[in-house]
């Protein structure tokens, strides 16, 4: 799992049938130690109904497509949880 923030949403009139009822969000990775953005924004399917501004966990690769209850969705990234808080131990050393 990876940590990110939802920074945008998309609208689409035409998409693959496996995406019916699934929202596509724009997310960007977060550093869990300081909450700063890292990397570039990217698209992720939303399996939990997250909103812009929420911190989320997401899966990538094969596991991402299996996050949906009744179907396998063609995706490389899926939001799988809404994170309420992150607490990193201050004594943590890299």
Whether 90 shows a pLDDT value over 80: the answer reads: no
Residue 71: the pLDDT is: 72
Q: Where are the domains of the chain?
A: 2-13+22-76
Q: What residues have CB less than 8 Å from 34, skipping those under 6 apart?
A: none
Residue 21: the pLDDT is: 83
40-73 pLDDT per residue, tens: 999 999 999 999 999 999 998 867 766 776 677 7
Residue with tokens 């009139």: 13
Which listed CATH number (3.30.505.10, 3.40.50.2000, 2.40.50.220, 3.40.640.10) goes with 2-13+22-76?
2.40.50.220
Tell me how crowded residue 14 is: count the other CB atoms within 10 A of its CB.
5
**Contact, 54 vs 81, CB < 8 A?**
no
Whether 34 shows a pLDDT value over 70: the answer reads: yes
Intra-chain end-to-end CA distance of the chain, in Å:
19
Q: Bridge-partner residues for 60, per DSSP? A: 77
Phi, psi of 82 (to 5 degrees): -100, 125
Whether 77 shows a pLDDT value over 70: the answer reads: yes
């Amino acid at each position: 799992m990876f940590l990110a923030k939802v920074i945008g949403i998309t609208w689409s009139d035409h998409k693959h049938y496996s995406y019916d009822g699934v929202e596509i969000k724009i997310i960007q990775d977060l550093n869990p130690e300081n909450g700063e953005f890292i990397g570039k924004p990217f698209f992720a399917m939303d399996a939990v109904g997250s909103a812009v501004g929420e911190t989320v966990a997401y899966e990538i690769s094969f596991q991402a497509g299996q996050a949906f209850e009744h179907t396998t969705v063609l995706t490389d990234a899926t939001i799988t949880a809404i994170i309420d808080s992150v607490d990193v131990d201050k004594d943590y050393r890299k």
